[in-house]
Amino acid sequence: MYPEELAKTIDHTLLRADSTTSAVEALCAEAAENHFAAVCLFPHFVPLAAELLRGTDVKTCTVISFPFGADTPRIKALAAGEAISRGADEVDVVINVPAFLSGDFGLVRDELTGIVRAARERGATTGRGQVIVKAIIETCYLDERLKRLACRICEQAGVDFVKTSPGCGPKGATVEDVELLRDCLDESIAVKASGGIRTAADLERMVTAGAARIGTSAGVAIMRERLA
C-alpha cells in the first residue's frame, strides 16, 4: 500500500479523559500534515477541530454515546445533530450495547435509524452534505451470531460504516472480526477497525481483511514506520 493510500485509511484519534485543547491542536496539525482521513475526538472539541481543519482534506469526526452506547435514543439523536451543527463531518455512534446483549434488538435498530435520519437531516440543513454515520458494535462482547445480527440491524438502519469497537473493552479489533463483518455486510457499507492497532503491519492486516478505515492514536508512528 502506498503511503498516500495508507494515510487515507486513518482516523487519527484522541479519546482520552486527559485530552486538552493543546493536544487537539497537535492532533489536527498532525492529521493535516499527513493527510489522514479524519480526526476522531470528543464532541466538546468539534468546533475547534473543524476550524483548525478548514481548507484541508481532513474530516472532523466525533463520537456519540461513547463508549457504552447506553444513553436514550432521543439523547443520542440530539447529540448527533448537535455535533453536526457544531462542525462534525462524521459521527461514530456506539450502539446500545447493554440493550443489544439483553435481546432488545428492536430498540437498537430503531435507535440507529433515528440517529441516521437526524444526521442526514442536519447535514442537509447545515449545508454539510452527506454526513457519514459509523455504528460501533463492540465485537469483543458478541458471539458470531450476535455479530451477524448486529450487521443486519446496521444495514436496516442505513449506516455508512460498521466499526468493530470503541477501543475501551477488553479486546480491540481482530482480523477475524473484520473478515466476518466484511462478509456479512452489503458492499455499500464499509468496515472500520479500531482498538489495539499500533503498527503499520497491524493496519495493513486490517485493510487486507476488509477494513476501509482504521481508528488509531498511533497514526503518526505508523506513517513514520511505513516511510522509513
From the list 160, 163, 177, 202, the catalytic residue is 163
Closest C-alpha to 134, from 218, 48, 35, 212: 212
Cell of 184: 456479512
From the list 76, 134, 147, 192, the catalytic residue is 192
Residue 92 known to be catalytic: yes
Cα(92)–Cα(86) distance, integer angstroms = 15
Instruction: Decide if 119 contacts 88 (C-beta within 8 A).
Output: no
Residue 171 known to be catalytic: no
From the list 92, 160, 177, 202, the catalytic residue is 92
50: Cβ–Cβ under 8 A, 6 or more apart, which residues? 60, 86, 87, 88, 89
- How many C-beta atoms lie closer than 10 Å to residue 136's C-beta? 29
Residue 71 known to be catalytic: no
Cα–Cα distances in angstroms (integers) from residue 177 to residues 19, 103, 142, 219, 223, in the given order: 29, 21, 10, 21, 24
Residues identified as active-site: 92, 163, 192
